[in-house]
Structure 1
Amino acid sequence: MRRTLAASLGTAVALAGLASFAPAGHAAEGGKGRRIHIVWPGHSIQKAVDRARPGDVIRLKAGAYDGGVLVRKRLTIQGDGDRTVLHPGRKDRCAKAGAAGMGICVVGRPKHLVRGVSILNLTVRGFKESGVYGMYTDRLTVERVLATRNGAYGITEFHSTRGRFVKNRAIDNSVEAGLYVGDIEDARGTVVAYNHASGNALGLLIRHARSVAVWKNHLVGNCVGAALVNDDQKGGQGEARLWMNKVWKNNRSCPQHEEVPPLGGTGILVFGGDHNGIEKNAVLGNRGTLPYSGGIVLFPSPKGQPARHNLVKRNLAKGNAPFDLVDKSGSRTNRFVDNRCRTSNPRGLC
């Protein structure tokens, strides 16, 4: 759970009729055979999940609920905005699936993915590990979720495909990433868009994953805005596209944590990845003193795999220190094209 950068960086659903007046646990018909289960504050989300049929909707009213909710079938869990808050409770059902400490965990198996789960319009706060956790999922949607003050990650998917993380806020999620996609050779176009991530170690981490689309996110005030990391597993990291993101002032200082080295002052870091596209981003004011601090920075992986065949094009990168653009990738195959910047290492990238 806590393998972030690996060793050595080194040097919405509307209710109809009388449904909204249903008592806790009541299932109202929602059309097309879908039922809507109303859960009121203080009642068990898990009981509603267990009772629901695939395709049903769990509708949470505003208020506080126990988290540790385990989902293993196609469902929609929808809250009433920030006022619907999941916090650690007395029972952690996620622990039964080997995912203790999560707010909501969607857990499948390698050849039996959990498909089509949607988690919408709620808050997950204060969990030991992650707010929302996906493992072996397909088409997991997390939208308009506030994940805050969790001990490791905010919103994650591991070994998962075709995810959709949209319009979420991942704030102050301690020692790991606000948003995470990883451990899948082909994420099959997982989308990360219109999110806000601040106060995390990393705003966005894509580690050991290929085929991820990232656009129009605000990655502000983390230790690192976005990191694309090849941790030297088979398949590496690559074929992600980052465009039109705002990556500003990621100048927090994060001390070394387990195998993760100190972090701070980096906008976008490509760490041994290949065939990534970084285009039309605003990367401003990311300032630090570490070897990998700066605006857009390319480094080899821990075992020396070069960052190669990456395209850095038409970005606005200014006010970063020590440099706006850094290519210490170990490869001459990366291209820097039409970027607006003032400083680079080596010279001539601007």
Structure 2
Amino acid sequence: MKKCHIAYLACTATLLGTGLGAASPATAGHTAHHVHLVHPGQSIQQAVDAAAPGDTVLVAFGTYRESVTVKTPGLTLRGMGRGTVIRPAAASAATAGTGSTATGAGAAEPAPKPAAKPATKPGAKPAAKPAAEPAAKAAEGCAESGNGVCVLGTKEHNVEDVTVANLTVTGFTRSGVYAMAADNLTVRNVTAEKNGVWGIAQEGSLHGVFRGNTARDNGDAGLFLANSVKEEMGAVDTEGTVVEHNRLEGNRIGVTVRRLRNLTLAANRLTGNCAAVFVVGDENKPRAGRVTVTENRIERNNKSCPKTARLDALQGSGIVLTGAEDSLITRNVIRDNVGASPLSGGIVLFKSFVGTPSERNRISDNTLEGNAPADLVNADTAGKGNTFEGNACAASKPAGLCRPADRTRR
């Protein structure tokens, strides 16, 4: 163990001395994992392209104007904290991996690019769009699609064990962090703010972990998890995706879980959004559900958002279940969410927008106070098997849902 530790320090020291690179073959064993250090003025994408599975790309404090695409399994992209900031490139260089500029402490002029052919950087795959790439728009190019950091597998193979951590992604027209066809993706301690659509988003992926992130002031959801936004298909079993200890503020929706099964939202703080949590399903099979929402603090989500083609106006929504089944909503604290939308209230059951009822959901042991039009709202009169029990609250629609051990619906 001691020898391994000394070897790692030696490797890191080599990288610090050279700025960007990997340990030499003489010091790196066949399975050695290298650290590629990126300084202000250098390209994050070039370091990612040079990295092997299991390597870490460590990004120093500074502002980097580029988008970054990760397709390498086991890669860790890690900043040094909120002061590592990724912003969109200037319009003339809005192609992922074409370099970056940096400002702030220690900033330098952009490093010269040895090959002025951004489509074919050394060690990178050609920028052509092979048929095996994901069908979603993000596959056309991370920057071209308006995303900041993209983690992309293919229809044939998920990209596995990628970590994105300890950095800020801001100002992109679509998403701060976007993933498709990922398995065991971890997004940790990322600040995603003021992006045009989603702060952090994932489609068609399994075993995700989203922990300790801050998503604020994004155009749609701070955290968006879905099967697909382009295809009509049944809900995907995420096989235990976890969303926990995140802070979600000032978004249209704090967290959206769309057409997925088998995941947990726990111990998150949601405030100042138009709506805090949406669990969304429809008529496709398998149906959305088996979502656990527990121990979250959901307060004053009273921002007003206008009606869209898909949703009524939003304001004052705590947790909304629409077209979902077999989910558990328990031990949440939900206070002072006030609005006049059909979706307003502390916890709201609502039939889906294609008429699919919510069924067999259990709403239990929550603490609700000061929500309007009511703490508990069951607007899904066709839904069967939904139960309300042990919820500490003052008002419900219909009346009577707040009584301890009370059960309702057919």
TM-score (norm 2): 0.79
Equivalent AA in structure 1 for residue 50 of structure 2: R
CA 1:163–1:225 in 2, change beyond 3 Å: closer, same or farther?
same
Q: Which moved more, 1:116-125 or 1:177-186?
A: 177-186
Give 1:292 deviation, angstroms.
1.4
Give 1:261 deviation, angstroms.
2.6
**RMSD of the TM alignment (CA)?**
1.7
Cα deviation code 1:109-153 (max 9, x no counterpart): 122101000001000010010000010100000000000000000
**Do structure 1's residue 306 and structure 2's residue 360 form an aligned pair?**
no
Write 1 or 2 for the structure with the bigger share of strand.
Answer: 1
The answer to whether the Cα contact below 8 Å between 2:312 and 2:341 also exists between their aligned partners in 1 is: no
Cα deviation code 1:229-283 (max 9, x no counterpart): 0143332310000100001111000012343331111000001110110000001
Query: Which structure 1 residue ranges, 4+ long, deviate > 4 Å from structure 2?
Result: 29-32
- Alignment map for 1:47-62 (pairs within 5 Å): 47-62=46-61
* Residue 148 (structure 1) aligned to one of 160, 175, 193: 193
The residue aligned with 1:268 is 319
Give 1:91 deviation, angstroms.
3.2
**Do structure 1's residue 113 and structure 2's residue 164 form an aligned pair?**
no
Q: Report 1 or 2 for greater relative contact order, CA contacts < 8 Å, sequence distance ≥ 6.
A: 1
The answer to whether the Cα contact below 8 Å between 2:80 and 2:167 also exists between their aligned partners in 1 is: yes
Give 1:287 deviation, angstroms.
0.3
The answer to whether the Cα contact below 8 Å between 2:358 and 2:384 also exists between their aligned partners in 1 is: no
The answer to whether the Cα contact below 8 Å between 1:317 and 1:324 also exists between their aligned partners in 2 is: yes
Q: Which moved more, 1:181-190 or 1:153-162?
A: 181-190
Aligned partners of 1:91 and 1:20: how far apart in 2? Answer: 28
**Do structure 1's residue 336 and structure 2's residue 380 form an aligned pair?**
no
The residue aligned with 2:21 is 26
Give 1:20 deviation, angstroms.
6.1
Aligned partners of 2:95 and 2:305: how far apart in 1? Answer: 29
**Do structure 1's residue 248 and structure 2's residue 316 form an aligned pair?**
no
The answer to whether the Cα contact below 8 Å between 1:131 and 1:150 also exists between their aligned partners in 2 is: yes
The answer to whether the Cα contact below 8 Å between 2:163 and 2:185 also exists between their aligned partners in 1 is: yes
The residue aligned with 1:128 is 173
* Residue 342 (structure 2) aligned to one of 291, 296, 313: 291
The residue aligned with 2:149 is 104
Q: Which moved more, 1:329-338 or 1:117-126?
A: 329-338
The answer to whether the Cα contact below 8 Å between 2:337 and 2:371 also exists between their aligned partners in 1 is: yes
The answer to whether the Cα contact below 8 Å between 1:250 and 1:287 also exists between their aligned partners in 2 is: yes
Structure 2 gaps of 5+ residues are 1-7, 98-126, 130-138, 228-234, 403-410
Aligned partners of 2:54 and 2:157: how far apart in 1? Answer: 17
**Do structure 1's residue 16 and structure 2's residue 9 form an aligned pair?**
yes
Equivalent AA in structure 2 for residue 137 of structure 1: A
Secondary structure of the 1:27 match is coil
Cα deviation code 1:134-178 (max 9, x no counterpart): 10100000000000000000111100000000000001002x100
Aligned partners of 2:201 and 2:270: how far apart in 1? Answer: 16
The answer to whether the Cα contact below 8 Å between 2:282 and 2:356 also exists between their aligned partners in 1 is: no
Aligned partners of 1:108 and 1:261: how far apart in 2? Answer: 34
Give 1:93 deviation, angstroms.
2.7
The answer to whether the Cα contact below 8 Å between 1:145 and 1:167 also exists between their aligned partners in 2 is: yes
The residue aligned with 1:37 is 36
**Do structure 1's residue 230 and structure 2's residue 266 form an aligned pair?**
no
Secondary structure of the 1:340 match is coil
Aligned partners of 1:67 and 1:239: how far apart in 2? Answer: 38
Equivalent AA in structure 1 for residue 387 of structure 2: R
Equivalent AA in structure 2 for residue 334 of structure 1: N
Aligned partners of 2:66 and 2:153: how far apart in 1? Answer: 19
Aligned residues: 335
Aligned partners of 2:267 and 2:48: how far apart in 1? Answer: 33
Cα deviation code 1:83-128 (max 9, x no counterpart): 0000001233399622511110011112210100000100001001
* Residue 329 (structure 2) aligned to one of 269, 272, 278: 278
Give 1:331 deviation, angstroms.
1.6
TM-score (norm 1): 0.92
Q: Which moved more, 1:153-162 or 1:15-24?
A: 15-24
* Residue 91 (structure 1) aligned to one of 94, 105, 110: 94
The residue aligned with 2:398 is 346
